[in-house]
């Protein structure tokens, strides 16, 4: 057993672990028994000229996730540590629990339902951070897979497609990140002292997510580097936050708004930049609330846009949206049309997943 506090339990063998790991990989997991083997194997496959450790933080799963994690700790005591507890404490508390045990100079992240496909991911990221002291973190491109019609479909190099025109922002990206997150957590490697400061002094439990604020926090005072190679697979699973249907997504975007308002206030962002940061959220909320039939959120977006972005509410758009709000049948038609458009785009851009995505070659 390692160091324990309160009801926390750590299963590790410090006589076998590296005394000074350079990278600590944090793997939050809950009910990920179907995916955890792939996640852990992606970390074990890393080829580095420095020692690493993997901390698997299981939040009292009931599907066998914990047993899988413990079996890997027994098989690989020189790398794997398991952190858990008797009861479920939630993702934020689980994150803080495992962060207290981080020993590395850098922290990398891979949640239990994602996985890494590049065995040189950590080596390249550490090399970058050591060569660029002005950078607080570095991230990479990734592959995206979604479940459609009972089958997984994938898009390689997601950021390359998303930023096809201007390229993924790199360097001083604070203002870019305020307007929307483009850093996927499973690709991020950050200096551990910055992550500790973020958890101790900035992250609030009221924030709906922790990864986007982390990237903003890093970018306020540091550059964020970007490596244009896909090193990980981000899996959007049923029941996840971003796969929660129109109503769920509308509520998530509504919760982002006070988070960004608070971040801007705490960081002293000027009013013009604050409004520019909020516009994409209110644009999304306008459409999502409408598709979900959530009229209070729809009215909230209308009121803000009328003051700060009236051009977004063209006369034609207002008439169409007004008809949709009054007539459920019309709204349903537009919901079906919108969903069909998304499905068609994914069908054209995403490909069926083979038994296993091809590993990135060194």
Same-domain status, 225 and 343: no
165 lies in some domain: yes
362 lies in some domain: no
pLDDT of residue 117: 97
SS3 per residue for the chain: CCCCCCCCEEECCCCCCCCCCCEEEEEEECCCCCCHHHHHHHHHCCCCCCCEEEEEEECCCCCCHHHHHHHHHHHCCCCEEEEECCCCCCHHHHHHHHHCCCCCCEEEECCCCCEECCCCHHHHHHHHHHHCCCEEEEEEEEEEEEEECCEEEEECCHHHHHCCCCCCCCECCHHHHHCCCCCCHHHCEEEHHHHHHHHHHCCCCCCCCCHHHHHHHHHHHCEEEEEEEEEEEEEECCCCHHHCHHHHHHHHHHHHHHHHHHHHHHHCCCHHHHHHHHHHHHHHHHHHHHHHCCHHHHHHHHHHHHHHCHHHCCHHHHHHHHHHHHCHHHHHHHHHHHHHHHHHHHHHHCEECCCCCCCCCC
Same-domain status, 343 and 221: no
Same-domain status, 255 and 236: no
Residue with the two structure tokens 């970007």: 226
The pTM assigned to this predicted structure is 0.88
- Of 216, 242, 268, which residue is a domain's last? 242
Q: Count CB atoms within 10 A of the CB of residue 175.
A: 13
Same-domain status, 158 and 70: yes
pLDDT of residue 252: 94
Residue 106: give its domain's CATH number.
3.90.550.10
pLDDT of residue 164: 82
Same-domain status, 304 and 345: yes
2 lies in some domain: no
276 lies in some domain: yes
Same-domain status, 164 and 131: yes
Asked if 1 and 11 count as a contact pair (C-beta separation under 8 A), the reply is yes
Same-domain status, 134 and 24: yes
157 lies in some domain: yes
pLDDT of residue 287: 83
Same-domain status, 140 and 24: yes
358 lies in some domain: no
- Of 213, 242, 271, which residue is a domain's last? 242
Same-domain status, 289 and 189: no
Same-domain status, 178 and 287: no
359 lies in some domain: no
- Of 215, 242, 269, which residue is a domain's last? 242
Number of structural domains found in the chain: 2
The residue segments making up the domain with residue 184 are 9-242
Same-domain status, 29 and 73: yes
Same-domain status, 87 and 128: yes
73 lies in some domain: yes
Tens place of pLDDT for every residue, the chain, 362 residues? 444 456 899 999 999 999 999 999 999 999 999 999 999 999 999 999 999 999 999 999 999 999 999 999 999 999 999 999 999 999 999 999 999 999 999 999 999 999 999 999 999 999 999 999 999 999 999 999 987 767 778 889 999 988 988 899 999 999 999 999 999 999 999 999 999 999 999 999 999 999 999 999 999 999 999 999 999 999 986 544 444 588 899 999 999 999 999 999 999 999 999 999 999 999 999 888 888 888 899 889 989 998 999 888 776 565 566 556 556 665 665 666 555 665 656 666 777 776 445 444 44
């Amino acid at each position: 057993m390692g160091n324990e506090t309160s009801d926390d339990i750590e299963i590790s063998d410090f006589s076998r672990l590296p005394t000074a790991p350079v990278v600590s990989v944090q793997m939050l997991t809950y009910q990920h028994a179907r995916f955890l083997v792939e996640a852990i194997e992606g970390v074990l496959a890393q080829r580095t000229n420095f020692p690493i450790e993997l901390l698997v933080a299981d939040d009292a799963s009931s599907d066998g996730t914990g047993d899988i994690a413990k079996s890997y700790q027994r098989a690989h005591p020189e790398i794997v540590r398991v952190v858990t507890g008797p009861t479920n404490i939630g993702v934020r508390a689980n994150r803080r629990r495992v962060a207290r045990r981080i020993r590395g100079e850098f922290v990398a992240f891979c949640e239990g339902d994602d996985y890494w496909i590049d065995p040189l991911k950590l080596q390249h990221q550490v090399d970058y951070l050591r060569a660029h002291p002005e950078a607080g973190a570095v991230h990479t491109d990734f592959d995206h897979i979604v479940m459609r019609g009972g089958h997984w479909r994938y898009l390689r190099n997601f950021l390359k497609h998303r930023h096809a025109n201007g390229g993924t922002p790199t360097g001083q990206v604070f203002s870019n990140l305020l307007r929307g997150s483009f850093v996927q957590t499973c690709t991020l490697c950050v200096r551990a002292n910055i992550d500790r400061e973020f958890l101790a002094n900035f992250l609030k439990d009221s924030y709906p997510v922790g990864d986007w604020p982390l990237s903003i926090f890093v970018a306020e005072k540091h550059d964020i580097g970007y490596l244009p190679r896909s090193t990980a697979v981000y899996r959007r699973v049923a029941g996840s936050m971003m796969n929660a249907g129109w109503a769920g997504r509308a509520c998530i975007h509504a919760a982002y708004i006070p988070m960004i308002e608070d971040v801007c206030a705490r960081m002293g962002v000027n009013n013009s930049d604050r409004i520019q940061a909020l516009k994409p959220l209110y644009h999304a909320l306008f459409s999502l609330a409408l598709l979900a039939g959530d009229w209070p959120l729809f009215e909230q977006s209308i009121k803000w846009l009328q003051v700060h972005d009236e051009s977004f509410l063209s006369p034609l758009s207002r008439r169409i949206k007004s008809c949709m709000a009054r007539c459920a049948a019309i709204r349903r038609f537009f919901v079906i049309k919108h969903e069909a458009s998304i499905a068609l785009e994914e069908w054209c851009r995403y490909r069926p997943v083979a038994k296993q995505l091809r590993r990135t070659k060194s």
